[in-house]
Amino acid sequence: MIDFNGRLSLEDRAHNLVSLSIPEKPVSNPVLQLLDSGNLVVRDDGGGYLWQSFDYPGDTLLPGMKIGWDYKTGLNRIMTSWKDNGDPSSGDFTLGLDTPALPQLVLERSSIKQSRWGPWDGIRFSGTLALEKTNPVFHPVFTTNSDGVHFTYDMVDGSVLLRFVVTQLGKVQFLTWKNCTQEWIPMVTLNKDSCEGYGSCGPYGICYVSEPNCQCLKGFEANSSGDWNGISDWTDGCKRNFDLKCEGDGFVKFEGLKLPDNGTLWASQDSNECERNCLLECNCMAYTHLDVYGNGSSVCVVWFNELFDMRSFPRGGDNLYIRMARAELDSIALAKMEKNQTLISLILTSTATGIAFLGFLIAWCRFKIKCVSRQ
């Protein structure tokens, strides 16, 4: 119900009133209206919105609704799951954008991270193809500017009824309506495989959908004793083969990765400055370049201390430059040299074999020609 002051309230079964909005200024003629978009608004007749339901998402995000940070109002819009199918009060799971400086989608349960997608790399959230701009049904929209940082989506196919939800079991899904069965069914699920669990492979571990799920980065070995093939808990992660010395360290490029958590934005540095300044900081473990603002201009992102929550992502993954000790760099260079030497030896051996065979073939042909001539 709405009173003459523009105050919107809900009444429960016990006839208790719960206020949803209290206007900050006097209202002459308040109007409560449900828009075609699904947005329930309180407005002053002839004026702007005094309150809108789109500012307070529940478990559902409709096209045009936003989650994220509004710098002007200080509002951080997040999604919250229902307690159960019949109880819309707040459940255990929330979904929102992490720190505004380097936004990523984060699913939490009772304030503990469960899954993470990001950061935004100008095309998608790092580590998922579910929110690509090439989707034929919906178009994800990520915006960062002076007004705030927001995630939403627009419909490409207007004939499809779609909603983005966080279920009471913690599934993050796009649901589409099927007329034939009169039900909502999943079209896209973000946290659909074992690698979506937060930090499942521990520090410096890489998660793979195939078995075994976890492997160490090259240059690292398992912290736990024994073979990772025989265990189901990899959260101890990995340790370096050679300890860092700071002086003499360098970087090794890794491709096709979901970027680790807890990155720091160094926005004013170009690619050369990014590498050089990260190298000067002894606890700077990695860096990369991302088009965080979606304007075609990459910025420097660095990671301090351990690298956590990564996964293999061959199609659509990002590059990450990871700090390595000089001894590891020398080992990599030696292995590369030996590989090249082996390749050269194979080429020379193959060439020599080919020449010998060709010589034999020529001699044999000459012999056959002489035999034919004598006859």
pLDDT in the model for residue 228 = 62
Q: Which two tokens stand for residue 312?
A: 């293999």
Going by the DSSP 8-state scheme, the letter that residue 260 receives in this structure is: P
Q: Which helix (H) or strand (E) holds 340?
A: helix 326-374
Which among 336, 311, 299, 307 has a CA at the least distance from the CA of 256? 311
Taking the C-alpha atoms of residue 198 and residue 309, their distance in angstroms, rounded to an integer, is 6
Taking the C-alpha atoms of residue 59 and residue 167, their distance in angstroms, rounded to an integer, is 7
SS3 151: strand
pLDDT in the model for residue 324 = 97
Mean pLDDT by 10 residues, the chain (375 residues): 77 82 76 91 82 93 94 92 92 92 92 93 85 85 89 91 96 95 94 92 92 88 72 86 94 95 88 92 95 84 95 89 95 65 63 70 70 60
**Cβ proximity of 259 and 103 under 8 Å:** no
Question: How many CB atoms neighbour CB 143 within 10 A?
Answer: 15
Q: Whose structure tokens read 């929102």? A: 96
In the sheet with 205-207, reading across from the earlier edge strand, the strands are 214-216, 205-207, 310-312, 250-258, 318-324, 284-290, 299-304, 263-266
Give whole-number Cα distances, 47 to 2, 3, 41, 55, 352, in Å: 17, 17, 12, 18, 88
* Rg of the chain (C-alpha set): 29
pLDDT in the model for residue 229 = 62
What phi and psi values does residue 125 have, to the nearest 5 degrees?
Answer: -80, 130
pLDDT in the model for residue 123 = 81
pLDDT in the model for residue 213 = 85
**Cβ proximity of 289 and 259 under 8 Å:** no
Distance of CA 98 to the CA centre of its chain: 12
Q: Which two tokens stand for residue 158?
A: 């207007």
Q: Which two tokens stand for residue 32?
A: 């409560």
Question: How many CB atoms neighbour CB 367 within 10 A?
Answer: 10
Distance of CA 9 to the CA centre of its chain: 39
**Which residues make Cβ contacts (< 8 Å) with residue 231, sequence separation at least 6?**
224
Which among 189, 194, 196, 195 has a CA at the least distance from the CA of 114? 196
Give whole-number Cα distances, 153 to 64, 82, 141, 188, in Å: 6, 22, 5, 13
Taking the C-alpha atoms of residue 30 and residue 32, their distance in angstroms, rounded to an integer, is 7
User: Cα torsion at 243, 247, 253, 254 (round to 10°)?
Assistant: 20
pLDDT in the model for residue 340 = 57
Number of helical (H) and strand (E) elements in the chain, helices listed first: 2, 27
pLDDT in the model for residue 264 = 94
pTM, entire model = 0.84
In the sheet with 183-189, reading across from the earlier edge strand, the strands are 60-61, 162-166, 172-178, 183-189
**Which residues make Cβ contacts (< 8 Å) with residue 300, sequence separation at least 6?**
265, 266, 267, 269, 270, 271, 273, 274, 287, 289
